[in-house]
Amino acid sequence: MANFSSIHILFFVFITGGAAVSATVFTLENNCPYTVWPGILSGNSNTLGEGGFQLTPGSSVQLTAPPGWSGRFWGRTGCNFDSYGRGSCVTGDCGGVLKCLGGGEPPATLAEFTVGSSDSGMDFYDVSLVDGYNVKMGIRPHGGSGDCHYAGCVADINAICPSELRIMDPQNGIVAACKSACAAFHSPEFCCTGAHATPQTCSPTQYSSLFKNACPSAYSYAYDDATSVFTCSGSNYLITFCPTRS
C-alpha cells in the first residue's frame, strides 16, 4: 500500500467543452495528539485516498477531486489494522477495513462536500453532527470566491456529552464519542421522521441544542440548514482534525 503521508497529489486541470475546469484539492491534516484514520465516502466512482488511510499526529495528505465530486470525510479513532488492512476502530468504523467501501458507523463527525461542476459552479460544504460526534473537525476554504466561510466544530463535545448519549472507549474508560439523540432513542421527534418529517414539525431538541451551542457553524439536526451549509466557488479546502480555532 502507498504511504499516503508522503504523497502530494498534483493539482490537475480538466478540459471540458473547450474550457479549463480546475480540480479541487483537499488537504487533510491531523492536529490531534493521537492518530486518526480518515474515512472517505465518494458519491460517484472517483474514490479519493482509496477510501481511507492512517494519519499520524502532525501529518497531512493532499487529495484531488474532479469537478462534480461529492462525498464525505470523517475521522476514525482507536483503530487497529493488520498488514492486510483488516481490523476495527472504536469510533467511525467502516466495516472493519482500512480502505472504506461505505460510510462510517455513527457517531462520527462528518465533513460533507458537493463540488461545483465548472469554474463558475458553486461548492456546497458543511460539518455535520447529525450522526453524532467523535472528534473535533474544521473546514477552511482557500483561494475561492463567494461567502467561503469557515465551517466546523472546535469544541470537545465528548467532554459535555450527556450520559445517555455516551460511547465509551473500552480500553481506557473515557468518552470516545457522543451519539445523536436519534441514534440513542430511535423516536420520530429526534429523527425527524413520521409525523416529524418536515421542517415545520421537527424542531431543535435539548440534545441538538447542546450540539449547536457548542458548535454554532455545524449541522446539529436534520433541518439545521440555514446556519450550517456554506458555499464557495473555485476553492481548495483544508480539513483539520482537532483544529485549535475557527
pLDDT score, position 5: 35
Q: Three-state DSSP class for 244?
A: coil
Number of separate domains in the chain = 1
- Domain membership flag for residue 199: no
Hey, what's the cell of 79? 483503530
Residue 218 lies in a domain: yes
Q: Is 246 inside a domain boundary? A: no
Residue 84 in domain: yes
Nearest to 135 by CA among 26, 219, 240, 25: 240
Phi-psi region of 27 (alpha: psi -120 to 50; beta: other; left: phi over 0): beta
CATH of the domain at 215: 2.60.110.10
pLDDT, averaged across the chain: 89
Q: Is 160 helix (H, G, I), strand (E, B) or coil?
A: helix
Q: What is the pLDDT of residue 119?
A: 56
- Count of CB atoms situated within 10 Å of the CB of 187: 12
What global pTM score does this model have? 0.88
Which pLDDT score is estimated for 225?
Answer: 78
Helix, strand or coil, per DSSP, at residue 184: helix
Per-residue pLDDT at 120 = 58
The pLDDT, as a whole number, for residue 14 is 34
Residue range of the domain that includes 113: 4-180+211-241
Question: For 157-166, what is each residue's pLDDT tens digit?
Answer: 999 999 999 9
Residue 67 inside a domain? The answer is yes
Residues (pLDDT < 50) of the chain are 1-20
Residue 1: the pLDDT is 40
Q: How confident is the model over 214-240, as pLDDT tens digits?
A: 999 999 988 887 788 999 999 999 999
Residue 125 lies in a domain: yes
Q: Is residue 200 part of a domain?
A: no
